Amino acid sequence: MDISKVLLTPSILDMESVTVEEERAAVSYAIDKKVISVSQMQTAISGTASDVLENVPSITVDIEGNVSLRGSSNFAVLIDGRPTILEASDALEQIPASSIKDIEIITNPSAKYDPEGTSGIINIIMKKNMNTGRAGLINLNGGIDDRYGGDILFENKTEKYTVTFGVDYRNRFTDGFNEEENHTTTDGVSSFVLSDGNSRRGRNSYGLRGAFEYRFNPKNIIAFNARYGDRDSKRISSLDYQEWSSERASRVLYNSNNDRSRGGYYYAFNTNFTRKFAKEGHELIGQVSVSKRDGDEITINRLLDYETNAITEGRRSLEAGPSEELEIEIEYVLPLKEDSRFEAGYESEFDRSTEETGLADYNTTTGEFETLDQFSNTTKYQEDEQAFYSMFAGKWKNLGVQSGMRVEYTNRKVGLARTSEEFTVNRWDFFPSVHTSFQLSEEKQLMASYTRRIDRPRGYYLEPFETWMDAYNVRMGNPNIKPEYIDSYEAGFQTFFGKNVFSTEVYYRVNHDKIERIRSAYADNVTLHTVDNVGTDYALGSELMLNLDLVKNWNINLMGNLYNYRIEGVLYEESFERESFSWSTRFNNQFKLGKSTQLQINARYNSGRVSSQGSSEGYFSTDLAVRQDFFEKRFSATVQIRDVLNTAKWERTSQGADFYSYDFHDRESPIVVLNLRYNINNYRQERNRDRNGGDEGGDFGEDDF
């Protein structure tokens, strides 16, 4: 038999398509970050980035949407590794969860990144399509109590270029109940105010984003990105007041209508060029970003006669002004050997902003608000930063080390138009970082790191004049306030057993020249808000995470954060020290009820904590979601119920020698939303698999070493 020739005859076989699926972990860990897979957070799919963060480790979000990272509200927010001109809280509220692929939490960033922010970086990774051709996603949602919105993402990808376009709109408002109690003492007279009533708060916003990437060849890539949006947040309340004093026991009754709005447009343009060299990992990246935002904040208070409902007093306060930013970055990466590399970079940032503040009182005769010129001010800010950094990373057997140094020069000017005063700062800063890892075995790893960071004062912290925030609160800045410097230490351990993972981190953070908002009595029933460097605070804590497939079709993700917080310093020429033990926990459960049905139940608790002048109470909340897929997952419907048991409250107390303040807010719950999603042409997200089953964040993440 001759076997030197083999004849092959082609034929066609009809076979059923086979789909191989693998569920990603909701939270996975890399050496320098936590990665949250937003698609696994069904209880937040109709919400925003802020809603997603409620269910992840390190983060606490109160019912007013205030986000804290390891107990601190001072952190940086990036979008696809690039800074956003919006305030951190605004950025997280602006981005719909349905357009986010991953959220990276980096609590100890290396010298490569801007050191701004006490507690680290939250990086939002937007969705991108991995398939060649045209594809997209459409999301629509609606719920009770004036909540609705939607977003569309479309992408066309070829071998040479990729075009992306997205649009989103959100409108969500929530009713609630407010209760306040305030005491002030001035000139020996104590004044008391009690108020309670209903409130309505929320926001509407829209955004547009587009991107174009052109690949000249595999080694030369240019990309353009643009974002535009507008947002408007509102807070409306109708409260009943009781007012009396130590000199007047009889109570004065009146009503108050309070309207507050805050918003404005923003835009950002970015272009970057990547040049890859012959050696793998050898590259040069250049980037230029231009952004601007416009902001207006108007607060109107009207006091009404309890019997006639006529306006007896009124006050309107205004804060407005644009902010512009130009940023230039150059990054160079040079692989030295198989397990080592050198990185260096340069960054320039130029910020310009103007803020106008004003106050007007209501004239009961004319029925108009009349401007008070003595409270009208214009402030111009200029801040230029130049930064250089270099890093080395290497690996010796099971030990990996990455060390770096960042040097920054800051030139800041604050100019007051009315008095022609100018306050300047010229300062050099040095920010070292060290990251280490030790591989005990294939399943076990130890990690440790140290970084130095900075929290610069916000613009209005520096204004040395009175600004009326509303009829009961006055703000005055401090042009001599110093930035906070933070020493941050972390150590972690991670182990895998089958598909399950356990990790723990211990962290210690010291804030030098701690910036605190200070309250005191300004006048009868009026509180003065100032800022000062009060001393030093310390946070020592531990985070634990267990991801467990207890039985088939039931995944458990249990997370906890326990930390001791202590603050000590000098306030009003008196030494003080306050301490609290705080903790939070997340218990997320995901059930597969069938091939196309999922149930998710998430519970969380955030304990109270202290500050230099007060404390906040803890609260518990439970969310639930059911998702049903149709037509081979091209269409899905998700019913989401937030705060199922109506247990989320907000309660805070502040007090000093001459004032006492208590605030309570209870929103209307539960909140029910239906989200509908349609997948166009099998839209699939880009993925770079890591050991944890999570995704890498592209250029932003540091490589494991």
Q: Can you give the residue ranges of every domain in the chain?
A: 27-690
At residue 371, the 3 state secondary structure works out as strand
CA distance 318 to 510: 36
CA distances from 31 to 608, 697, 705 (A): 30, 13, 9
pLDDT in tens, 5-39: 333 334 333 333 334 444 556 666 666 677 888 87
CA distance 666 to 174: 10
**How many angstroms from the chain centroid is the CA of residue 508?**
21
| Residue tagged 């634990």 (tokens) | 544
- Span 538-543, mean pLDDT? 92
CA distance 298 to 315: 11
Residue 650's pLDDT is 87
- Span 36-65, mean pLDDT? 75
Q: Where are the alpha helices (DSSP H) in 461-538?
A: none
Residue pair 588/556 in contact (Cβ under 8 Å)? The answer is yes
Per-position b or e across 500-530, b if 16+ CB within 10 A of its CB: ebbbebebebebebbbbebbbbbebbbbbbb
DSSP per-residue string spanning 166-184: EEEEEEEEEEEEEEEEEEE
Residue 406 pLDDT > 70, yes or no? yes
| Residue tagged 């007279």 (tokens) | 189
CA distances from 137 to 8, 165, 215, 627, 687 (A): 43, 11, 24, 17, 17
Residue 613's pLDDT is 83
Residue type, 636: S
| Residue tagged 């086979």 (tokens) | 18
Predicted TM-score (pTM) of the model is 0.82
DSSP label of 418: T
Residue 16's pLDDT is 38
**How many angstroms from the chain centroid is the CA of residue 449?**
23
* Least confident interval from 159-163, 303-307, 406-410: 303-307
Residue 683's pLDDT is 61
Residue pair 73/67 in contact (Cβ under 8 Å)? The answer is yes
Residue 432 pLDDT > 90, yes or no? yes
Q: Which of 68, 71, 60 is nearest to 579 (CA)?
A: 71
Of 399 and 26, the one with more pLDDT: 399
Q: Where are the alpha helices (DSSP H) in 232-283?
A: none
* Least confident interval from 39-43, 380-384, 559-563: 39-43
CA distance 408 to 413: 17
Report residue 160 as tokens: 């040479």
Fold of the 27-690 domain: Maltoporin; Chain A (2.40.170)
- Span 478-489, mean pLDDT? 92
- My answer on whether omega of the bond before 115 falls inside 30° of 0, hence cis, is no
At residue 159, the 3 state secondary structure works out as coil
Q: What are phi and psi of 84, to 5 degrees?
A: -110, 145
DSSP per-residue string spanning 637-667: EEEEEESTTS--EEEEEEEETTEEEEEEEEE
pLDDT in tens, 122-159: 888 888 776 778 888 899 999 987 889 999 999 998 98
